[in-house]
Amino acid sequence: MGNVKAPDEIQQEFIDGFVAAGDTFEQFDYLLQLSAQLEELPEERKVKEVLVEGCQSQVWLYPSWEGASSGEGFALEGDSDTLMVRGVIYLFQQMFSGQDARAIIECPVRFVEETELVYIFDAKRQAGVSAIASTIKDFARKALSNKEEPHHG
For the entire predicted model, the pTM comes to 0.93
Domains annotated on the chain, with CATH: 7-43+50-147 (3.90.1010.10)
User: What pLDDT does residue 4 have?
Assistant: 74
Cα gap 27→62, rounded to integer Å:
27
Cα gap 28→66, rounded to integer Å:
32
CB atoms within 10 A of CB 11: 22
Cα gap 31→18, rounded to integer Å:
8
Cα gap 148→102, rounded to integer Å:
12
User: What pLDDT does residue 3 have?
Assistant: 60
Cα gap 80→20, rounded to integer Å:
26
* Mutual angle of helices 7-21 and 24-35, in 10-degree steps: 130
User: What pLDDT does residue 149 have?
Assistant: 59
Residue ranges in 22-108 assigned as alpha helix (H):
24-35, 83-96, 101-106
Cα gap 118→153, rounded to integer Å:
51
User: What pLDDT does residue 50 have?
Assistant: 96
Instruction: Catalogue the E-assigned strands of the chain.
Output: 59-65, 74-80
- The number of CA neighbours under 13 Å toward the Cβ of 60 is 17
User: What pLDDT does residue 117 have?
Assistant: 96
Query: For each of the chain's 153 residues, which pLDDT tens digit applies?
Result: 456 799 999 999 999 999 999 999 999 999 999 999 999 999 999 999 999 999 889 999 999 999 888 899 999 999 999 999 999 999 999 999 999 999 999 999 999 999 999 999 999 999 999 999 999 999 999 999 887 655 554
In whole angstroms, how far apart are CA 57 and each of 16, 27, 105, 132, 137? Answer: 27, 20, 24, 11, 20
